[in-house]
Structures are given as structure tokens and as C-alpha cells.
Amino acid sequence: MNKKGILLVLSGPSGSGKDTVLNELAKDDGIQLSVSMTTRAKRDWEIDGTHYYFVTPEYFKRKIEADEVLEYTVYSGNYYGTPKAAIDEWLNEGKTVVLKIEVEGAANIRRIYPDAVSVFLLPPSMKVLEERLFRRESEDTEEIKRRLKIAESEILQAEYYDYVVVNDVLDYAVSDLRTIISAENKKTSRNKDLINKILKRI
């Protein structure tokens, strides 16, 4: 009797540290990161197939046509999407599948997977977020300002997520995600079989 896995949707503004947190979480047993696909340019430190599948707009559009993209969104002129293929397979194997997803995409996922658990990763403050973007964007202040505005509007969407986790100290944020996954595994809705087993109905 294989218990179905949890689909965990993680969103957060640029600079909230989604990748760093997920890289740590991915080391745990039973965690399966779903890698998104994007047409945006790869950053130096990013690895194709790990952080994203970096593809051409033509390739992305062909995948959409073939109905092989679970959801996608256009953000800053680039496509971001979730390849369908493996997700249901992993869930049936009982894995916790983690989707890193833009705010808009998350709403779509929740429609398709109502059981999905959604977590919004918050920066400890807008000041800290600004500093992080400053380090990453190498002093393009206009771009930083623009990203901060976007971040603000994204954080306003946090209320539609099930949980919020503040990424101040990395270890704590990762541990919060583990706690959420453990608790979700105790949800009654995920344990009907267990109850029936105790009552010897299955």
C-alpha cells in the first residue's frame, strides 16, 4: 500500500532564496524536485537541468502545443513552465514532489491539484531583499528597483498560499519546510487507508 506523495508548491520573490532552500531540501530522502523549463537566459551559477531546463522559445512553444506543459506563465518577457511527464508518476511512488513556481503558475497548479500544499517563501524584510538583489544583479539599480516592485506585488499574493516561511537563516527555513511536509503527512485526508487498516476494513 503506497501512500500517495505530497505535491509541494513553492513560490517567493526573486531573492527570497528558493533555489538555496530547495538545494538543501532535495538532499532529504523522498524529496523529488520538479525542474521547470524556461526561455530566460541562464545565470552563470545555474546548471541546466538542475535549476531549470533552459530552452528556446520555439522548443517551449512546441511543448505547449503537444500538451506536455502542466502550466506556464510569461514573466519579464520569458516563458516559465512545468513539464508534465514525471509528476504523477512520482506522486504515485509516494514521493514529495516540489515545484518551484511563479506566483501566477501556483494558482493554476492549485486548480489542477487541489491537494497541493503551497508555501510562500518570504524575505525577512524588504531591506534584506534589496541587499540580496544588489549582490546578485551587480548594481543595476534600475533593475533592482523594478524587481523590488515586482517582489512587493508577489508578496501581496502570499495570502493565497497555505503556509509562509521566512528565509532569514537558511537552516531554519529548510527545517520549516520539513516540518510542514511532516505535518501534512499526518493530515486525515492523506490517511484514510490507515484508519481503515486499524479498523481492519482493508
- Closest to its own copies by CB, 87 vs 98, is 98
- Closest to its own copies by CB, 39 vs 118, is 118
Under rule CB under 8 A, residue 133 binds its own copies: no
CA dihedral 42→160→95→20, nearest 10 degrees, is 40
Positions in 111-130 near its own copies (CB under 8 A): 120, 122-126
- In this structure, the number of other CB atoms found within 10 A of the CB of residue 71 comes to 20
| Residues in CB range of 134: below 8 A, 6 or more apart | 144
DSSP helix/strand/coil, 61: helix
Cβ of residue 109: shortest distance to its own copies, in angstroms?
A: 16
Helix (H) or strand (E) holding 74: strand 69-75
How many Å apart are CA 61 and CA 56, to the nearest integer? 9
Under rule CB under 8 A, residue 194 binds its own copies: yes
Taking residues 162 to 191 in sequence order and writing x for each that binds its own copies by CB under 8 A, - otherwise, the string is xxxxx---------x--xx-xxx-xxx--x
- Closest to its own copies by CB, 105 vs 123, is 123
User: Which region among 1-9, 65-73, 102-110, 148-156 touches its own copies (by CB under 8 A)?
Assistant: 148-156
- Closest to its own copies by CB, 52 vs 163, is 163
58: Cα within 13 Å, side-chain hemisphere: 0
Angle between helix axes 18-25 and 170-185 (nearest 10 degrees) is 60
| Contact set with its own copies (CB under 8 A) | 120, 122-126, 152, 155-156, 158-166, 176, 179-180, 182-184, 186-188, 191-192, 194-195, 198-200
